[in-house]
Structure 1
Amino acid sequence: MTVLILTCEEDVTADMVVVHLNASGMPVVRLDPADLTVSAGLSGEFAHGSFRGHLAAGGRLVNLAALRSVWVRRPGGAASGAVHPSPWLAEESSQALYGMLRGSGARWMNDPDAAHRARHKPWQLRLAQRCGLPVPPTLITTFPGAAREFAGRYPDLVVKPVSGAHPQDPPRAVPTSRVPPGADFSAVAHGPTLLQRRVVKRADIRLTAVGKRLLAARKAVLSPGDPEEVDVRFAASREPWRRTAVPRYVADGVRAYLREARLAYGAFDFAEDGEGTWWFLECNQSGQFGFVEVDTGQPIARSIAEWLSRPGAEQPVAAPRTRTTAC
């Protein structure tokens, strides 16, 4: 059996997992879908009621029937590195690759359809609410009047992008920023704006979920209550990440979230307030974990490798809905 990792060539996070896969003797193949039609290829035959498929990547030919799992890490766009790339070729290549992989019987971390849905921030916030995770009061709107009314109820606000990416520079992160007192909000009419009550935090929390395993790390805020200490990604703090225990209500909520979202992996961000409450901010279905593992020594990469290697590892299935029970 073989583990297939779909990611770009320069992915240090994937390298950390490959080390453990190699050490365990599990065959592993890396494929960047961007390389299709150049240095990677595929073939699938549907005949006599059966399917035979193969992938060529990294000088190896892989039988799709021999795939144990597929880790969708940071893949490039299908055939985007082709000699003559085009939207048509990209769609054809994506349909061929992911369509064949879906028929292979391999387990996914994470299923592409589930991962695509899980990217949407409004969907995340509502799911977190249903699963019992505290969510700060949040408004997403294009109505300036609604933004002014919301600011009247919650004067201490932050603003962040709905998607997390800047339209002119998708690879760059846009920092969460405070909304100044007396903001006009007229610009809200030009695009959906996400406003959220600022959590006066004493720590940032990164919880990495691998299957049923939860590994949480805490980064203390050196100046609790500092109104400028908003986005941990851009804070100039030298405070390291440290291991921390996961409160029972958070563990229950995160596991319910993963089941409902059909995710095998999730990187959850929380803000811990002065009373110790963990406020849900977002879940990145393919979030980085290397920086946490380096600081804390938590075995995140090994846990992912074990999940990918394990025969019959659990595949998330959404719990059935009832009228009286949420997640």
Structure 2
Amino acid sequence: MTVLILTTEEDVTADMVVVHLHACAVPVVRLDPADLTGGAALSGEYVHGAFRGHLSSGGRLVSLDGLRSVWVRRPGIPASRAARPSPWLTEESAQALYGMLRSSGARWMNDPDAAHRARHKPWQLRHAQSCGLPVPATLITTFPQAAREFADRYPDLVVKPVSGAHPQDPPRAVPTSRVSPDADFAAVAFGPTLLQRRVAKRADIRLTVVGERLLAARKPVAADAHPDEVDVRFASTTAPWEPAEVPPRIAESVRAYMRGAELAYGAFDFVEDADGTWWFLECNQSGQFGFIEVDTGQPIARTIAEWLSRPVAPRPTRLNGANSAVS
């Protein structure tokens, strides 16, 4: 049975997993939804109580009944590269593609509905709290007065985007920045602003979760690092990421987070304070992992390939009015 990867043509992270799938002789088809209705095509037939569907991409034809898993890695906007793209065509293509894939019985990494919900940072923060993960004091507001009062309570703050990368082509990363003590919060009225208590960190933590497998990496903060260097992506340190042990309570809470979010994959960002407490920052349901694997040697790509390669569970079918399982 085949693994379907929904991603752009140039995706080095996906390439790392494909290498392991090929080594295990697992068939793989890559499809970018943006290529509908030109370089990719689909067809589904609902007749006599049964469903039969097919996808075509890059000259490969795959039966939807023959899919064992679907990895929603970094898919493009459906039909955005069509000869005449339009919002209507995008919606039609999205409903056709994802609706048919849901009819296949394949396993998802990650289910699109669950991933869409899980990407909302306000939801993440509340879900992390409910799972017992330490979350720094946070305010999301468009009230300048609320921001000023929050700054009075927590004088050392950072500001970060609510949604993540700035929507341009290619997307531009917006760094987390330290808030000046004399900041004027009047501009908060023009858009939701996320303020968060700065944690004086001694290390950054990236915890990659694949199914039940937890793979943690730690990057220590240099002793002479400037306190304004709050975003590890833009830090001046050249220290590599190193493998790390996951505290048992964090492991329990993270697994609860994944179950509640209905995710099979998640890339968690924490910061570790001087007491060794891991503070939750966010969970990216399609986060990169290649840089972690390169530094640490952790088998993240292989672990993903193994999850995608697992046999499909038998699906119930109806025979003579009774439910039965078929392989």
Q: Deviations over 1:89-121 (max 9, x none)?
A: 111111100000001000000000000000100
Residue 166 (structure 1) shift: 2.4
AA matched with 1:165:
A
Partner residue, 2:90:
90
Residue 224 (structure 1) shift: 6.5
Partner residue, 2:181:
181
Separation in structure 1 between the aligned mates of residue 262 and residue 138 of structure 2, nearest angstrom = 25
Partner residue, 1:233:
233
Counterpart mapping for 1:1-327 below 5 A: 1-166=1-166, 171-223=171-223, 226-312=226-312
Residue 182 (structure 1) shift: 1.7
Residue 175 (structure 1) shift: 0.2
Dislocated runs of 4+, deviation >6 Å: none
AA matched with 1:23:
A
Residue 241 (structure 1) shift: 0.2
AA matched with 2:193:
T
SS for the counterpart of 2:171 is strand
Residue 168 (structure 1) shift: 5.7
Partner residue, 1:324:
none
Query: Which runs of no fewer than 5 residues in structure 2 stay unpaired?
Result: 314-327
Contact 1:159 1:195 in 2 (8 A): yes
SS for the counterpart of 1:171 is coil
Separation in structure 2 between the aligned mates of residue 94 and residue 26 of structure 1, nearest angstrom = 27
Tell me whether 227-236 or 126-135 shows the greater mean CA deviation.
227-236
Separation in structure 2 between the aligned mates of residue 253 and residue 198 of structure 1, nearest angstrom = 22
Contact 1:271 1:279 in 2 (8 A): yes
SS for the counterpart of 1:166 is coil
Tell me whether 166-175 or 137-146 shows the greater mean CA deviation.
166-175
Residue 183 (structure 1) shift: 1.1
Root-mean-square deviation over aligned CA pairs: 1.1
Contact 1:4 1:69 in 2 (8 A): yes
The two structures have a TM-score, normalised by structure 1, of: 0.94
Residue 204 (structure 1) shift: 0.3
Separation in structure 1 between the aligned mates of residue 223 and residue 158 of structure 2, nearest angstrom = 18
AA matched with 1:172:
R
Q: Deviations over 1:274-293 (max 9, x none)?
A: 11000000000000000000
SS for the counterpart of 1:230 is coil
SS for the counterpart of 1:180 is coil
Contact 1:68 1:309 in 2 (8 A): yes
SS for the counterpart of 1:236 is coil
Counting aligned pairs with the same residue, the percent is 79
Q: Deviations over 1:164-209 (max 9, x none)?
A: 1225667111000000012110111111000000000000000000
Aligned length: 313
Measured at CA, do residues 116 and 224 of structure 1 come closer, stay the same or move farther in structure 2, by a change above 3 Å?
farther
Separation in structure 2 between the aligned mates of residue 229 and residue 280 of structure 1, nearest angstrom = 18
Query: Which runs of no fewer than 5 residues in structure 1 stay unpaired?
Result: 314-327
AA matched with 2:59:
G
SS for the counterpart of 2:181 is coil
Separation in structure 2 between the aligned mates of residue 37 and residue 195 of structure 1, nearest angstrom = 43
Contact 1:72 1:110 in 2 (8 A): yes
Measured at CA, do residues 224 and 248 of structure 1 come closer, stay the same or move farther in structure 2, by a change above 3 Å?
farther
Q: Deviations over 1:244-286 (max 9, x none)?
A: 0000111001000000000000000000001100000000000
Measured at CA, do residues 60 and 82 of structure 1 come closer, stay the same or move farther in structure 2, by a change above 3 Å?
same
Contact 2:70 2:107 in 1 (8 A): yes
SS for the counterpart of 1:286 is coil
Separation in structure 1 between the aligned mates of residue 224 and residue 5 of structure 2, nearest angstrom = 40
Tell me whether 269-278 or 162-171 shows the greater mean CA deviation.
162-171
AA matched with 2:15:
D
AA matched with 1:178:
R
Separation in structure 1 between the aligned mates of residue 46 and residue 80 of structure 2, nearest angstrom = 27
AA matched with 1:112:
P
Separation in structure 1 between the aligned mates of residue 88 and residue 180 of structure 2, nearest angstrom = 46
Separation in structure 1 between the aligned mates of residue 19 and residue 167 of structure 2, nearest angstrom = 36
SS for the counterpart of 1:129 is helix
Separation in structure 1 between the aligned mates of residue 193 and residue 167 of structure 2, nearest angstrom = 13
Residue 147 (structure 1) shift: 0.5
SS for the counterpart of 1:243 is strand
Contact 2:106 2:312 in 1 (8 A): no
